[in-house]
Amino acid sequence: MSHSPLRVLILGATSGIAEATARLYAAEGARLVLAGRNAARLQAIAADLRLRGASAVDIAQIDFVRDDARQAWLGLLATHGAFDHVLIAYGVLGDQPTAEQDSAAAESIMAANFTSPAQWSLAVAEDFERRGSGSLVVLGSVAGDRGRRANYVYGAAKAGIAALIEGIAHRFAGKGPRAVVVKPGPTDTPMTAGMKKGGPLWATAEQVAVVVRRAADKGGPVQYASARWRLVMLIVRLIPSAIFNKMNL
């Protein structure tokens, strides 16, 4: 018995983790819509995915922070039809010292990592709940599990989106759709280009992509990439403040 290919929308498709996840979907013969700001880069990724087995790949040029999420979502539905899976994978790391001094810089970090993906998630959730099916997967971060001086503006935004997706998952309970926040640890992608990499806690985009793809089908509403981060962050959250405040994290 043949099955229709999955219809997948990837928001922020030029990110390293998104591209690696798209390759997994392409190998399954999925129909993909890649959304982002850089049309030339989207076209290059689309061409690669067609060679990797995707049954169809289209692109949509969207500025997630500036464009109205609900209207853009309705436009995508009108053009491409209903989606089975939606992955929200965009975000910015930003610069913590700058954000502490510049309210516009702080607002930019929060808009890209919380406000915008939250609006998109709510628009998608409304459609999925009405249809009684669909998988929404959103990239969070272990940085949201406890505020640290090194990146607490970014971490706060990621904590907010995690809480929102958990709430959507609760809203979906028993209704058919699913919502998942995937929390990677440090990952070797262009977003972390300026960081010193290496060590057992670093992952590749391909390793995280496996978790993201699996999360769309099964598992709880919060998943860590890799799984070891669940224990690591539990330990970090349990460190008493008197000790934590002396740590350079």
In this prediction, residue 190 has a pLDDT band, given cuts at 50, 70 and 90, of low
pLDDT at 2 over 60: no
Q: Which residues are part of the catalytic machinery?
A: 154
Q: Which of 148, 133, 190 is nearest to 16 (CA)?
A: 190
Cis status, amide bond into 226, omega within 30 of 0:
yes
Number of CB atoms found within 10 A of residue 118's CB: 21
- Out of 43-47, 86-90, 195-199, 227-231, which region has the weakest mean confidence (pLDDT)? 195-199
**What would the mean pLDDT of 184-194 be, rounded to a whole number?**
71
* Percentage of residues in the chain having pLDDT higher than 70: 94
Q: Which run of H or of E encompasses 167?
A: helix 152-172
pLDDT tens string 5-28: 999 999 999 999 999 999 999 999
In this prediction, residue 198 has a pLDDT band, given cuts at 50, 70 and 90, of low
Residue 62 gets which letter from DSSP? -
C-alpha radius of gyration, the chain, whole number: 18
d(CA 85, CA 73): 13
Instruction: Specify the pLDDT at position 226.
Output: 85
| CA dihedral for 143, 70, 122, 28, sign (positive or negative) | negative
pLDDT tens string 80-131: 999 999 999 999 999 999 999 999 999 999 999 999 999 999 999 999 999 9
In the chain, beta strands by DSSP E? 7-11, 31-36, 56-61, 85-88, 135-139, 178-184, 187-188, 203-204, 222-225
pLDDT at 193 over 60: no
Instruction: Please give the span between the terminal C-alpha atoms of the chain, in angstroms, as a whole number.
Output: 53
Instruction: Specify the pLDDT at position 173.
Output: 96
d(CA 111, CA 192): 19
Evaluate whether the domain defined by 7-244 bears CATH number 3.40.50.720. Answer: yes
Instruction: Specify the pLDDT at position 1.
Output: 46
